[in-house]
Each structure stands twice: as structure tokens, then as C-alpha cells.
Amino acid sequence: MNKQVVLQDLGLKDYKRSWDYQEKLFKETVDVKIKNRREDAHVPTPNHFLFVEHPHVYTLGKSGDITNLLANEDQLAKKGATFYKINRGGDITYHGPGQIVGYPILDLDNFFTDIHKYLRLLEEMVILTLAEYGLKAERSSGETGVWLDIGTPFARKICAMGVRASRWVTMHGFALNINTDLGYFDLMIPCGIKDKAVTSLNVELGVKAISMDEVKEKLVKHFSHLFEAEIKKEKAEV
């Protein structure tokens, strides 16, 4: 099993361009698995972890409801935002500047073949990271992602998640609000869940901005521990 994970930080990158790059890496890994099975070979499959920050964009998962987007094309254009229907699970999500988006493209045969466990470990990675900032984040029963003050009238979501997996290879991932303009969430019903607010790390800490690189380092630290992975940093190729 190959436990090495290649880490790339794509910086600020167009959503479609990043999606195409994900698809390329995803296909390469799946193709190795298919060839291994066909030829009874044992070529190691690669694992990737992409960090990216997107310009304003709304994405709708394959099981999502378009009515959870509360804006038409003209309204989106005025806000400088785009919209895509995509092939992950989950409902509608917003991505934008000041938000850390993470795309692990892992062959789970290298780790464990359990999608439920995979999602819970991604959530735990975020929960442990936020704990380093003094926040008690937690899961909400039946709702993927990471939340604050669950079970109270002040419940609010700080990290959304939606993944796709085929042949135990994953793509898409999580979106953690750090210095995010929360006004953009007014144009949607986040993840299709009504009456629950959205927040970001800088709002919770009462500061103007938090180092994105610092948060990324903490996420990678917890990811490598939880997945028992060896992280190899490489320069972004896209």
C-alpha cells in the first residue's frame, strides 16, 4: 500500500480549471487500478491532496436541489460569481476567496475501504485544527461537515464537505471558511439545510484575517496523523 500523498497548493484558481485537474489525477489513478487488475500487476497507485482557493462560485451536487440557489444568472453576474452542476455528493455549496478548499484524491485501497470512515476522518481533521484556535467544533447527526454550537439555536456551519468515489478513488472534498465573505451565503440555502447559519474562523475569533498558510499547515499535520500518510510537497502543475 502506498501511503505517500503528494501535496500541491494551487493558489487562487478558476473552479473549472481546478475541477479538470482533479479529473485528470482521478482518471490516472483509476487507470492504474484497472490495468493492475487486468494484468494481475501491483503498480502502486498515487495519492494527491490539493489545496485551492476559488473565485466566487456556487456548485450543486448530483443529489442537490437547484431551488436552494436563491439567485438567477443576472444576480450571480452582478456578484461576480459563476455556477456549476458537478459530480460530487451533497447539495449546494459556495466557494470563494478566504476559504480553504481541499481536494484529496486518494486510492482508499492504500488506507481503508470505508467511505463513512473517510468522511469522519476529514471532519476530525478540521475539528482538531479548529481546536488549536480554541474552538469546540463538532459533527451534526445526519449532516456531513463541521459545525459550532450544535444542539443550540446558534448552530452554525464552518466547513462543508462533499465527495465522489469510484473504485475506492476519491475526489472533491471540503471547504473551510477562514476569512470568507459570508454575504455570499445569502444567495443560497447552504447544503440545502434551512434555518442554520454559516460562519468563518476570523468571525469566530473576532479578528480581521487569519493566516491561510498557518491553517493549511495544521490541516496537513492532522491529515497525515489520522491517515498515517507521508506528505510529499510538490510545486503545483496547474
Query: Can you read off the three cell numbers belonging to residue 25?
Result: 489525477
162 labelled as ligand-binding?
Answer: yes
175 labelled as ligand-binding?
Answer: yes
161 labelled as ligand-binding?
Answer: yes
Number of Cβ within a 10 Å radius of residue 96: 23
9 labelled as ligand-binding?
Answer: no
Backbone phi, then psi, for 44, in 5-degree steps?
-60, 140
Note whether 19 and 84 are within 8 A (CB): yes
Q: How far is it, in rounded angstroms, from Cα 20 to Cα 86? A: 11
Maximum distance among all alpha carbons in the chain?
57
173 labelled as ligand-binding?
Answer: yes
1 labelled as ligand-binding?
Answer: no
160 labelled as ligand-binding?
Answer: yes
90 labelled as ligand-binding?
Answer: yes
DSSP string covering 99-139, please?
EEEEEEE-BGGGT-S-HHHHHHHHHHHHHHHHHTTT--EEE
The CA-atom distances, in angstroms, between 172 and each of 22, 46, 61, 63, 86 are 8, 16, 10, 15, 10
Annotated catalytic residue, options 191, 212, 220, 229: 191
Query: Can you read off the three cell numbers belonging to residue 215?
Result: 491553517
88 labelled as ligand-binding?
Answer: yes
Has 191 been annotated as catalytic? yes
Q: How far is it, in rounded angstroms, from Cα 25 to Cα 23? A: 6
Q: Which residues are catalytic?
A: 191
As annotated, the binding site includes 88-95, 160-162, 173-175
As annotated, the binding site for substrate includes 88-95, 160-162, 173-175
